[in-house]
Structures are given as C-alpha cells and as structure tokens.
Amino acid sequence: MTQTPHLDQINLPSDLRDKSRKELEVICEELRTEVVDAVSTTGGHLGAGLGVVELTVAIHHVFNTPDDKLIFDVGHQCYPHKVLTGRRDRIRTLRQGGGLSGFTKRAESEYDPFGAAHASTSISAGLGFAVASDLDGRGDHAICVIGDGALSAGMAYEAMNNAGALNKKLVVILNDNDMSIAPPVGAMSHYLSKLVSGKPYRSLRKLGKKLVKPMGLEKPVRKAEEYARGFAMGGTMFEELGFYYVGPVDGHDLEVLIPVLENVRDSLDGPVLIHAVTQKGKGYAPAENASDKYHGVSKFNVITGEQAKSKPSAPSYTKVFGDTLTKLAETDEKIVAITAAMPSGTGVSQFADAFPARTFDVGIAEQHAVTFAAGMAADGFKPFAAIYSTFLQRAYDQVVHDVAIQKLPVRFAIDRAGLVGADGPTHAGSFDVSFMGHLPHMVCMAASDEAELARMVLTASEIDDRPSAFRYPRGEGVGVEIPSALTPLEIGKGRIVREGSNIAILSFGTRLQESLKAADMLSAQGLSATVADARFAKPLDHQLISDLARNHEVLITIEEGSVGGFGAFVLHYLADAGHLDSGLKVRTMTLPDIFIDQDKPELMYDLAGLNARHIAEKAISALGRGSVTELNKAAV
C-alpha cells in the first residue's frame, strides 16, 4: 500500500484543524492516492470524489463538523469524506456486503447527517438543518455540496427560493465540474471572491445601504451592484433567489478555498452560494483523460487505469431495449426517446446515435420528463420514457395526473427493476409494480428474458389508447435468442412454460429461471410443477390464473417487487372469483418488507428468499410435507 504519513495522522476532521496550508496540500495528495487505491479494489464512483478532494479537506478544516452539518448531494463524491471521518480502515469495503455504503448514510457515521443517493436533495435538507439550528439557538452551520448536474433539478431551485425567503444561515457550495454555468476568470476572480466574502466588504456594503436609503437610492444601487458582480462572475440568478453569490473560485486551490470558507463562516448572516469550479477525476490521469472521467468504474489497475471487465455471456437488458427501440424507430418516425440524465444507463444513447433529433435528455428532472412525454403523446407521438424504477418514484404525481388520468399513451421503460447489487436500497427498483399496477388504464409488463423484453418494447409501441410500462432488471439476459422478426404480445395474456400437476408456480418477471430450477428440485422429490410466465400484472390473465387454481393443490406467485404488487393483484382476483373457497393453497413470494443493503446479487436474492430453493421449500411447506432439506435427508 502507498505510504501516506500525513494522512495517517488524520483520524477525524478535528485533526485537520491545526494543519498549515502546506500540510493540507500534502494531505490532499495522499487522500487522492488513497481513494484511487481503494476504489481500484472495490469499484465504485471515482471521478466525482477525486474532483472534491481539496473542497472536502477545506470544509472539514474550516467548519466544526459534525456539529456543523456537511451534506453531500447524491453522494457519488463522498469517498474522501469517508476516509477523513473515521472510516478509512473500512474504505476497502465500499459497496460490499456488510461494508460501507457507496453513498452517505446516517446509520454509518455522525459525520453523515443526511443520507443521499438521489440527486438534488441537499439544499432542502440543509435548510431543514439550518432552521432547526435557529429554533434551538445553536448557531451551527449547514453546508451543502451540490454538483452542477444536480442543480438542474427543480427541487434544488424550490429549496433555494425557500432559503432566500427565510434568510437563514445556509452555505451552498456549487461544485461545477463541467464549467456548465461559468468558467473561472483567473486571479482577479479569485481576488474578488475573497474580497466580497469578507467582513470589510460586507460592512462597507451595509454602510452604503444606510447612506443611500434616505436618498431613495437603495434599490438602484443594490441592482447596480448585483448586475456588476453578475456580469463579471455569473451570480445574478442566485442573487435573485436571495443568495449572496461568491465565485467562481478554483475548487482545487486551498489558498483560495480556505479564506473564502473562513470569511463565509465568520460573517454569514443569510444564505450564501459559493461557486467552486473543479475538475472531475482530478489528479488521476486515466480518469482525467476518460470521456466519463471515471464516473463509475469496476475494479481497475491503478498504474494503467485498465478496468476489469468480464466478457458478457448475453447482452444486457438495457442494450436489448436500446437496440429494439432503435430498430422499431427505423420504420416508425413517431417514436421518440426521453430520459432524465441517464442516456447510457437506460440504453437511450444507442437510440440517440441513430436518431439524435428524436432523443431528449431533460437532465435530472423526472417530473418534467414524464409530463414532457405526456405532451408529446397528446400530440400524436410515441414517447418512450426510459427511467430507472427508483427514479420514476420521483415523478409519481405526473404519472397519475398527467398521464394516467388523461389516458395518454406514454410508454414507460422501467430499467433497474428489482435488486441492483452494489448500489443498494437507494437504487433498488422495488415498488414500481405496485405503484404502476394500481393505476386505471395502465398496462404493466415484466420481461422474463431478453426475447420477451424485445417483444414488450414492440407491444408498447403498438398501444395507442392508454399508457403502458414494462420493467426489466440490471445486468445480462439469460442467453436466449431474440427472433429477427418480432411479434407483439396479446395484451393481458401469459404463457405456460412447463406443464405439471401438483404445484403451479406463476412468475412475473425475471424469477422465471429460478422457478424452472425449483420445478426440477420438486421433480426430484416426486412432485410435479407447472411453471407459468404471467407477462402482465395488469391486465391480469384471468383465464390462466383460473386454470392454475382449478388444476393444482398449490399456487405460488413470485415477483421481484414489494408486497402489494403482482401477488396482491392475483390474490384479489382469486378471492373475488371464489377460487379460495375450494381449499386452494396460495402463497405469494415478494421482496421482504425491508430495505436490503448492498451485496452481491446472488446473496441479496438469497436474503430476499427468492431463489429456487426458497420456491421449492415454499411449495413443500404449503403441501405440509416438511422441507426440501428434510426430504433430501430422508431420500439418503
């Protein structure tokens, strides 16, 4: 491991407080090396953290964390923060089972005052802390670090508008790593930033206000000052929201950062925005030179930067969606693709390569994405809104009000459905079956393999009288061949995959392969299982469900979703149809009623109780014949 003598002295942020600028610069170099080395062994979000090393060190040096609350937006950039806050000895457990979360997490450390992982929440949370501090009379600070991408979301502006109106002590640091708002303008900008954040300037400003007020010139002078600084430094928009704007400053220069933060700390009497320009991937050449700045990486070679990539045995579901949509759009000019800042993650980037004019990345704005899609659907187009399940939660009102009530044919491509491994509970797609399936008019599908997904994309493209949604997981398909000539599915019709007699297993989505394995296990115990692929949670295939209920002793439903989804819909139908009166034994298998922490996917499914062994045990238990383990022992 690389020697880090200065960093070795830092166990908590308090150890940074008495360090000189030169010592802090060395600590930054060692911290950057430590983060690169750690992520090379775990994988994770690298570029964002490298870009805020100096910023993180400066904040902890100047402010009295954890009494002062440091809130990172999203959390991709929090690895250096974790190293400095007593978690260095566990940093190589990042995103591993039982290890550190890849995001900030309240249960992990008092230095993580607010959990994150979804973008654009920091300013709202920070304002909450600022108001609570004021009500308690504590006088501590709330510091929010938000990226320029996260600042594209409406929630951030709602929070800033409220903060400006309340005029509470709040420090917002805009981490601008794309220079998307304004570039730094050299030494003069740095000088002005230090000047306007300091007590002398602020005192002079107050004196000037007193002088001009009796003359009725207060408003014109204030506007002149705002626009002068806004013209030079890009801050007019923030000033209009009630924030005192400082910047842009070099986010890698401690000689600039520390005085600005100290000035803000010591003279703060309202909301302040510090505009820090940083470089994503800073200090690690492979990241600096990569187009994505090593935003998310697998394990990699520190020397070369080469990432360890396993050769996929089948295309990813995301790629199947992107390829299929692109192919359909070749003959249907009404098809358009919409995503909310995730073009690569959702497969929309493939569509964009072929049809750039019909591709719309709206930024981190899921609410807007859905209503934007609704507007296009209302005007005769076929919008596919490709959004992760966990992010679609942020636009549920728009799904209900703007799409479902108006019965508009928006097609929701719900990526990352189910468990997602290392990203943990914040990114798991656990609830979409329930919240989409409850809506009138909605067609809800789940793909059991990549060929089924391709057919569902086609099916959705042909549904013109109501909204539809199809869900699919992260990762590779199961290796089935996708027909070159696709045919659409019949709406609301499932399929029998394997015929049996004692037990019926009705799968919705990608647990179908585990259901088939369970049927094999049951067969080895002298039991016969039918396996069916529901395909649709809404509308349900009533005929299929009735046939399974009439012809089997046990009916098991299984899904990779929360309680209240597909299994609940089936139970409701069975009860209404009178099938439960016949003595049918029904069992539902869902994700458990907990948030499952990050781990290897197979271990997460084991914890969730959704693997083949669990299905077989559920069936045998329903029959009252003990467990698979007991039967195996008896057979021996």
Active site residues: 280, 366, 394
pTM for this one? 0.86
> What pLDDT band is residue 630 in, cutting at 50, 70 and 90?
low
> What pLDDT band is residue 558 in, cutting at 50, 70 and 90?
very high
| Same domain, yes or no: 224 and 79 | yes
Weakest mean pLDDT among 185-199, 515-529, 562-576: 185-199
Task: For residues 229-252, give the mean pLDDT.
Answer: 78
> What pLDDT band is residue 626 in, cutting at 50, 70 and 90?
low
Q: Is the pLDDT of residue 309 over 90?
A: no
Give the pLDDT of residue 87.
Answer: 95
Residue 568 neighbours by CB under 8 Å, 6+ apart: 434, 588
Give the pLDDT of residue 186.
Answer: 53
Weakest mean pLDDT among 83-92, 308-317, 405-414: 308-317
The answer to the question of residue 440 being in a domain is: yes
Give the pLDDT of residue 130.
Answer: 95
- 628: closest CA among 612, 613, 609, 606? 613
Alpha-carbon distance of 466 to 452, in angstroms, equals 21
Strands 529-533 and 495-498: antiparallel
- 82: closest CA among 106, 62, 100, 64? 100
Tell me the pLDDT tens digit for each residue of 335-359. 999 999 899 999 999 999 999 999 9
The answer to the question of residue 623 being in a domain is: yes
The answer to the question of residue 312 being in a domain is: no
Of all residues in the chain, the percent with pLDDT exceeding 90 is 74
| Same domain, yes or no: 98 and 196 | yes
CB 383 within 8 A of CB 377: yes
| Same domain, yes or no: 154 and 277 | yes
Provide the phi-psi class of 487: left if phi over 0, else alpha when psi is between -120 and 50, else beta: beta
| Residue 12's CATH number | 3.40.50.970
Give the pLDDT of residue 634.
Answer: 41
Range of the domain at 629: 496-635
| Same domain, yes or no: 458 and 321 | yes
| Same domain, yes or no: 324 and 252 | no
CA-CA-CA-CA dihedral for 51, 52, 55, 61, to nearest 10: -130
- 77: closest CA among 127, 27, 130, 117? 117
| Same domain, yes or no: 461 and 532 | no
Give the pLDDT of residue 290.
Answer: 82
Q: Is the pLDDT of residue 592 over 50?
A: yes
Q: Is the pLDDT of residue 233 over 90?
A: no
The answer to the question of residue 307 being in a domain is: no
Q: Is the pLDDT of residue 222 over 80?
A: no
| Same domain, yes or no: 258 and 383 | no
Tell me the pLDDT tens digit for each residue of 264-292. 999 888 999 999 989 888 888 888 888 77
Tell me the pLDDT tens digit for each residue of 372-406. 999 999 999 999 999 999 999 999 999 999 999 99
Total count of domains within the chain: 3
Tell me the pLDDT tens digit for each residue of 438-470. 999 999 999 999 999 999 999 999 999 999 999
The answer to the question of residue 262 being in a domain is: yes
Task: For residues 538-566, give the mean pLDDT.
Answer: 97
Q: Is the pLDDT of residue 218 over 70?
A: no
| Same domain, yes or no: 538 and 426 | no
Of all residues in the chain, the percent with pLDDT exceeding 70 is 89
> What pLDDT band is residue 248 in, cutting at 50, 70 and 90?
confident
| Same domain, yes or no: 337 and 409 | yes
State the helix-helix crossing angle for 53-62 and 254-267, rounded to 10 degrees: 40
Alpha-carbon distance of 107 to 104, in angstroms, equals 9
The single residue listed with the structure tokens 């990352």 is 416
Name the strand (E) or helix (H) holding 209: helix 199-212
